[in-house]
Amino acid sequence: MLAKTPPMGWNSWNTFGQNINEDIVLEIADTMVEKGYKDAGYEYVVIDDCWSLKERSRDGKLIADPEKFPRGMKYVADYVHSKGLKFGMYSCAGMKTCGGYPGSYGHEYADAKTFADWGVDFLKYDFCYFPKSGNAQNAYLTMSMALKASGREILFSACNWGHGEPWNWMRSVGVHMYRSTGDIFDSYKSFSDIILSQEDNWSMSAPGCFNDPDMLIVGMYGKGNVGIDSGCSDTEYEAHFAYWCMAGAPLMMGGDIRNMNSFSEKLLKNQRLIAIDQDEEARPPYMVHSNAIWDNDRVYIKHLANNRFAIAFFNGHDTEMHPAFSLHEAGIPFYTGVTLDFTDAITGEHIGVIDQDAFSCNVPAHGCRVFTAEFAAR
């Protein structure tokens, strides 16, 4: 089964945009293995837009840009596979890609066969230049069927930015993960706006098909294709990654992992947070406390396998806050004699058994605290 848990990997767009090439992709594959990202669970190396020539071949096939990829895509795929990783590429449901390269509209079956022949394992499928008279559901269904008919198992990642409420139909047309917002940028406002817009849709995610809030911006610090000013702070990157994990979102790194600082590298490989994201039950988080808007604090509980839980506090204020929730809100009334035993999911520190009804903690501005918990007696 593809996408039994949220897919994990790396995508070229956030850092390199149209300036992607063979050398970068091979170096990323090397880095995935050498620096432990593969061991942490990341498996896909995905080339985004701008990899092809601007025209198809005489027989209508896509052609990799020979200046960017002189040895061709089959060579790149084989190299990625030789590292024990999987290889992904990009196309678009419209007449052209977002970067103005040939789209797959009307060429779905031919392009799917091309991708299969090259050894592609993952296809990101965008929505630019789609005909106004076209039907989005049919477009994604057509490519889904084309991929299945290609003879190769290919994970299908849809990217239509929320057009036509995709959370209601992407699973039924055979998609494995789907974008339902605009592009992310390297700023707190960008990822927090995405968080707010998707709170009601996480329940649509389940094994086989996951809501995708876009690639990760961890470690970019304002650099690259989606950089804004100096980017996010370490505290904000931690909140960004933690929320994606609590939501059970695909974890597609977008930074230049060849040159990550130690904080970002450690965060991206945090096995306690990744385990929350990859939990086999794939349940969405449940909001136990919030104010009306993102600019205030939120507390979420996520049910995990084996009677365990993840509990996350997010602070949208510009100053440190001290949010709290009662165990009663979490379905554990005080009179039951049952409580929870907490461990900090970011640091690994064992906090201990909570012997009162309320639990609270200090949360830095724009930051988070995340805990795992299991039942205990008072």
> Cβ–Cβ contacts within 10 Å for residue 158, how many?
28
| Rounded Cα–Cα distance for residues 112 and 274 (Å) | 31
| Rounded Cα–Cα distance for residues 327 and 77 (Å) | 50
Residue 183 annotated in active site: yes
User: How many contiguous H segments (helices) and E segments (strands) does the chain have?
Assistant: 10, 16
E strands in the chain: 8-11, 44-46, 86-92, 122-126, 155-159, 177-179, 210-212, 251-253, 286-290, 298-304, 308-314, 324-326, 338-344, 350-353, 358-360, 368-377
The encoded tokens of residue 369 equal 């605290």
Residues 6+ apart with CB under 8 A from 109: 146, 149
- Going by C-alpha positions, the residue among 304, 250, 252 that lies closest to residue 282 is 304
Among 30, 65, 117, 183, the one annotated catalytic: 183
- The answer to whether 251 and 274 are in contact (CB under 8 A) is yes
Classify residue 231 by its DSSP letter.
Answer: -
- The answer to whether 199 and 229 are in contact (CB under 8 A) is no
- The answer to whether 247 and 212 are in contact (CB under 8 A) is no
Residue 277 annotated in active site: no
Tokens 């370490």 identify what position? Answer: 234
Q: What share of the chain is helix, strand, coil (3-state, %, to 5)?
A: 30, 25, 45
Among 48, 111, 126, 297, the one annotated catalytic: 126
Annotated active-site positions, please?
A: 126, 183
